[in-house]
Chain A
Amino acid sequence: MEMFWDIVISALLVIGGVFGLVGSFGLVKLPDPMTRLHAPTKAATLGVGSILIASMVWFAVKQGHLTLHELMVTVFIFLTAPITAHFISKANIFRDWPAEKLPKPAGEGDWAVHTADADTSEGELAVERETEAADKAD
């Protein structure tokens, strides 16, 4: 049984190391900024998750006490990685893609990145909701 857990932990560590390395290598290798977003946000996040789960199994088997800290960190990283990727891609559109090169979004208006007054704060959304309600009433 000892041997089985050794193999599980070693496999998780090796998988995590390889994924982390591939993710960071993709950051250097891939050709343009939008494709470069893929490598760290997917591969590196998976690698770190694997390492954290290996650590959790190691502490449970070798030290005999199960800790859920690593699971917390894993869930936090898996939740925040898409948000950071989304923000960075928005910043990238803002800097490198002029409005006329992008396809128009459905409906009225332009991409939020390119409209100077676009603000998703509560006040403006409330105004939109009111106008929508007024349209429906008509």
Chain B
Amino acid sequence: MITYALIFAIACYSLALLFNLYRVVKAPGVTDRVLALDTMAVNAIAMIVLFGIWEGTALFFEASILYAMTGFVATVAFAKFILRGDIIE
């Protein structure tokens, strides 16, 4: 039963990442691109964790923590750059 649920979740997140990719490529404004990239990082964390369950190893947590941190810092830096034209004033 877990295998089917896992396949379903992986399919859902694959589709979600495709939606994000569409929004990154075809966006009406630059803030939408930043938002899509942020969502992409969050969905990538879910994919990494799902792959960790699939493989049955606890090896991928560090990767997901790194993704969470760099995704947050990157989004804040992008937004700050749009807002002020500079990141560290």
Main secondary structure of the interface of A (DSSP, over half): helix
Would you call A20 and B2 a contact (CB within 8 A)?
no
> Smallest distance from the beta carbon of A49 to chain B beta carbons, Å?
9
**A63 in complex: contacting residue of B20, B50, B56, B64, CB < 8 Å:** B56
B: interface residue count bin: 35 or more
Is B29 a contact partner of A13 (Cβ separation < 8 A)? no
Main secondary structure of the interface of B (DSSP, over half): helix
User: Which of A9, A10, A95 counts the most B-chain CB atoms under 10 A from its CB?
Assistant: A10
CB of B2 within 8 A of CB of A9, answer yes
Interface residues of B in 1-48 (CB under 8 A from A): 1-2, 4-6, 8-13, 15-17, 19-20, 22-23, 28-32, 34-36, 38-39, 42-43, 45-46
Question: How far is it, in angstroms, between the C-alpha of A90 and the C-alpha of B80 when the chains are bound?
Answer: 9
Residues from chain A with Cβ under 8 Å of B39 in the complex: 23-24, 27, 40, 44
Contact of A13 with B6 in the complex, beta carbons under 8 Å: yes
Q: Which 6 A-B pairs have the closest CB atoms?
A: A17-B12, A24-B16, A17-B9, A87-B79, A10-B5, A40-B39
What are 11 A-B interface contacts by the 8 Å CB criterion?
A11-B5, A20-B16, A24-B19, A33-B29, A36-B35, A40-B36, A40-B38, A76-B69, A84-B75, A87-B79, A88-B79
